[in-house]
Structure 1
Amino acid sequence: MFQNQQLEEALSRHPCYNRDAHREFARMHVPVAPRCNIQCNYCNRKYDCCNESRPGVTSEVLTPEQAAEKVAYVKSLIPNLSVVGIAGPGDPLANEETFRTLELVSKETPDLTLCVSTNGLALPDSAQRLYDLGVRFITVTMNAYDPDVGAEIYGSVRWDGRVLKGREGAELLIARQTEGIERCAALGMLMKVNIVMVPGINDGHIPDLVKYVKGKGAYIVNILPLIPVEGTPFADLRAPTPEERREMMDRCSLDARMMRHCRQCRADAIGLLDQDRSQEFVNFGGCGSGCGPQGQAAAPNVLFRDPKMVAVATSDGVSVDRGFGNASAFRIYRRVDDGWEFFREVSVDTGVPASGSGHREHIASVAASLGECSTVVVTEIGHMPSRLLGEMGVTVVETDVPVDKALASLGLRDPGYKF
């Protein structure tokens, strides 16, 4: 059982709940929960997928025994691993495997903090059980507290042998989410509420929703941008711009603590938030899940990259303020003596879908347009573009510092340096 001091120590090492911890401590998601009890209009769960970086995506689904063994193995290679979470690819509380996994991980690696992310439908009935298993951090994704708004976001809710749609389903889900948050907070768990910002659907509703969940016991709120995904009802909706999301967080920060460093992790994410290493631990020999040492794959062919050429995602030339996927242009800098000088600007087509084969081709096209640059500096990047750039010999640096500081630091960094 955690005491308050132990909970405070766990919080200091939790990279999602504590921004100061996210560059020092790693987390690991174990994908043991494939089944889900609701259908959101923005969600398309993908298994055996290494090409996308978003919630609901995983390269494998593990048994509880495989997950516990893999956690121990990863911990042996990543000593700064502090948190093990279950976040899918379905809803953890709709899968009995979640509870068995928590039991095994707690027994075999008791020094790790346990964390669960859920849609909240089954949370009221699971709160005490989770607490008894040692879980002290719970995330609930709650996109509305008005059933009329929720009816536009949730396609269906499966409950007690029935499939509820429209306002009826949203009303039940919201009531269960609210009760679950209150129960967990009363038990002493730290609650994070994720809100997916959907322009034109719930964006006008979010400030009141933040006040609502804060009043129910939320410790921190994370406002996530919609990721339009092919094959979903929201596939053709636009994502909020970084400015819209930032303005929303600024507005809501008056009422609740905001998480501003989220990377919208996969269900099998491993490593620092800014440095996902999940693909290092997939399909390896060793334990039943496929983790463990094995022969190294051949290195990909790499084009010549000039270490004196760097591409920066910046809208004004002053700050690194764009992610790889939403940058409309990259400024290219080259090393001159002991400093850097602006060389040229490369424009990027931002109208390409963020999924499917077109997305992959777009990434390759952007990388090619950056020429001989050896490094790309961005605020954030998805798993697939990061992997493809790495295969092409390009180092990715994620940061949000001023451009001059980023460039100055590049000359001093070791491989894998993070700001």
Structure 2
Amino acid sequence: MSCVCPGTTKSQEIIEKTKKHPCYSAEAHHTYARMHLPVAPQCNVQCNYCNRKFDCVNESRPGVTSEVLTPDQALDKFEWVKEKIDQLSVVGIAGPGDALAEWKLTKQTFENIKAVNSDVTFCLSTNGLLLPEYAEEIIQLGVQHVTVTVNTLDPEIGAKIYKFVVYKGIRYEGVEAAKLLLKNQLAGIEYLTKRGVLVKINIVMIKGINDHHIPAVVKKVKELGVFVTNIMPLIPAPGSAFEHFSQTSMKEINELRNVCQLDIQQMRHCQQCRADAIGLLNEDRSQEFRMCNRQTAEVKTAQNLKKKQYKIAVTSKYGKLVDQHFGHASKFIIYQGDGQDFKIVENRSVEKFCSGMEECDSGEVQRDNIINALQDCDAVLTMRIGHHAKERLNKKEIYSVEYCDTVNNGLQYAVSQLADR
């Protein structure tokens, strides 16, 4: 794939911006590395192909991460990775929710890194719902590459792809939701491209729903000045509305890319990365750089935290792995320890408040009962926790730690985070 967009008058500028970006340049992805910082867990669009609640160490797809970081933790991780990977050139935020739905966290993360390293290239991925609202701030921040997922121009098709959209506190569904999303996507894309930002469009190919419509999407975004489009296969996520769909074959994807190549250049080396991906596109090292593996945290735990005792509530199905969502837990294993040695104090039974993808925000009474039952704890260690539950825990001065590994490693990591507060 060439780095030069046909017909552009800014070819040299585009080459300079993209020559070290592995997602925008096919040549760059062999030699330059990127890292995604998972600081934006919330999303404002529910796509029927997405389920961010599932997280596995070996699972690789957008929306998956083994940890969610604060902006300060993200800076720490950036400096760690930069020290170990010389060819790191790009820092991106791709969720695990939507980068603009958590704009304050996204912006603070970029600002923190920019203060210590002005050479890094920033990029972000978004569904585009809030793009008109934050486009100018994106430009002022120096983000030169923005990826927007646009799956259709037809609201009737969009109603089949998007379950709902939450915009300015109001929930929209069906055709109305799809119209609103499309309007904001197109307006935001045009605003960015007219001001020199390189925009990549991701399109998820869903057989029988939008596959026949994708060439029209490509033609439209070309008119808006988009740099490249990336047609991606549907990955049926467990627990999503489309979990029983067949995964789109690469043969079908490439045939459609060949058709659309006549209008605009196509990205053909996409790996559909995790939200915490690190390294070359074809060599993800995210598990190596999980914060629980950082030696400094382990040393700090061993040397400085021997005397203070912490009480930590853990969500675990069988007591070995931190492998359960906060809202799915019917019991919490209560550990007490000093950062090195922990013992189980008790098992506390609770009434879980989340029974599925749509119901986790509805059981407010059960959720508050659970939080009240954990009032004597310093922290909750869980695989995933919702925004509202996290806020309620914070009000009780209970720190929530998202983690996906063994309970023992998670407890040590949780204590290191408590000590840094």
TM above 0.5: yes
The one-letter code of the counterpart of 1:38 is V
Letter in 2 for 1:116: L
Deviations 1:328-355 (A, max 9, x none): xxxxxxxxxxxxxxxxxxxxxxxxxxxx
Q: TM-score, normalised by structure 2?
A: 0.67
Question: How many residues are paired up?
Answer: 291
SS of structure 1 residue aligned to 2:75: helix
Q: Deviations over 1:112-171 (max 9, x none)?
A: 100000000001111110111110000000100111111110000001211100000000
Percentage identity across paired residues of the two chains: 52
Q: Secondary structure at the match of 2:200?
A: strand
Contact 2:54 2:238 in 1 (8 A): no
Per-residue displacement from partner, 1:156-205 (whole Å, max 9, x unpaired)? Answer: 00012111000000000000000010011112100000000000000000
1:260-310 Cα deviation digits (max 9, x unpaired): 00000000000000100011111123567x899x9xxxxxxxxxxxxxxxx
Match of 2:366?
A: none
Query: Once the two structures are superposed, what CA deviation does each residue of 1:224-246 show, in whole Å capped at 9, x if it has no partner?
Result: 00001111111111122111111
Give 3-state SS (helix, strand or coil) of 2:152's partner: coil
| Contact 2:278-2:286 at 8 Å conserved across structures | yes
The counterpart of 1:62, out of the listed 49, 65, 69, is 69
1:30 corresponds to 2:33: no
Residue of structure 2 equivalent to 1:285: 294
Amino acid at match of 2:293: F
Contact 1:152 1:201 in 2 (8 A): yes
Distance 2:58 2:135 in 1: 34
Paired residue for 2:248, among 230, 240, 243? Answer: 240
**Structure 2 runs not aligned, ≥5 long:** 1-9, 303-421
The residue identity in structure 2 corresponding to 1:135 is: V
| d(CA) in 2 for partners of 1:189, 1:238 | 35
Q: What displacement does 1:48 show? A: 5.5
* Unaligned 5+ runs, structure 1: 295-419
Secondary structure class of the residue paired with 1:280: coil
1:104 maps to 112
CA distance in 2 between counterparts of 1:50 and 1:240 reads 23
Measured against aligned partners, the alpha-carbon deviations of 1:8-60 in whole angstroms (never above 9, x if no partner) come to 32310000000011000000000000000010000011475312000000000
CA distance in 2, matches of 1:225, 1:154: 17
Root-mean-square deviation over aligned CA pairs: 2.1
Partner AA of 1:58 in structure 2: T
SS at match of 1:249: helix
CA deviation after TM superposition for structure 1 residue 73, in Å: 1.2
1:122 aligns with 2:130: yes
In structure 2, what is the Cα distance between the partners aligned to 1:54 and 1:97? 22
Tell me the CA shift for residue 7 of structure 1.
Answer: 5.5
Partner of residue 163, structure 1? 171
Give me the TM-score of the superposition, normalised by structure 1.
Answer: 0.67
Q: Which residue of 2 aligns with 1:18?
A: 25
Q: Is the 8 A contact 1:102 1:114 kept in 2?
A: yes
Counterpart residue number, 1:417: none
Secondary structure, counterpart of 2:147 in structure 1: strand
Q: In the alignment, is the contact (CA less than 8 A) between 1:284 and 1:291 conserved in 2? A: no
Instruction: Go from structure 1 to structure 2 and tell me whether the alpha carbon gap of 1:86 and 1:169 turns closer, same or farther (over 3 Å shift).
Output: same
1:135 corresponds, among 143, 146, 158, to: 143
Aligned counterparts of 1:105 and 1:89: Cα–Cα separation in 2: 19
Find the residue that maps to 2:62 and give its secondary structure: coil
Q: Indicate whether 1:79 and 2:86 are aligned.
A: yes
What is aligned with 1:94? 101
**Could you give the per-residue CA deviations for residues 324-379 of structure 1, whole angstroms, max 9, x where no partner exists?**
xxxxxxxxxxxxxxxxxxxxxxxxxxxxxxxxxxxxxxxxxxxxxxxxxxxxxxxx
Q: Could you say which residue in structure 1 is the equivalent of 2:375?
A: none
State the partner residue of 1:188: 196
Where do residues 339-350 of structure 1 align in structure 2 (5 Å cutoff)? none
How do 1:345-356 and structure 2 match up within 5 A? none
* Distance in 2 between residues matched to 1:10 and 1:291, nearest whole Å: 40
Aligned to 2:228: 220
Match of 2:56 in 1: 49
Q: Which amino acid aligns with 1:285?
A: R
Contact 1:47 1:60 in 2 (8 A): no
After TM superposition, list the pairs within 5 Å mapping 1:256-335 onto structure 2. Answer: 256-282=264-290, 283-286=292-295
What is the SS of the residue equivalent to 1:205?
Answer: helix
CA contact (8 A) 1:106 1:134 kept: no
Q: Return closer, same or farther for 1:287/1:80 CA change in 2, 3 Å cut-off.
A: same
Q: Tell me the residue number matched to 1:374.
A: none
Closer/same/farther in 2, CA of residues 272 and 175 from structure 1, 3 Å limit: same
User: Which deviations, in whole Å up to 9, do the C-alpha atoms of 1:200-222 show, x marking residues without a partner?
Assistant: 00000000110011111210000
Cα offsets for 1:84-137 (capped at 9, x unmatched): 000000001011201100111111121110000000000111111011111000
Q: Which amino acid aligns with 1:52?
A: E
4+ aligned runs moved over 4 Å, structure 1: 3-7
CA contact (8 A) 1:190 1:219 kept: yes
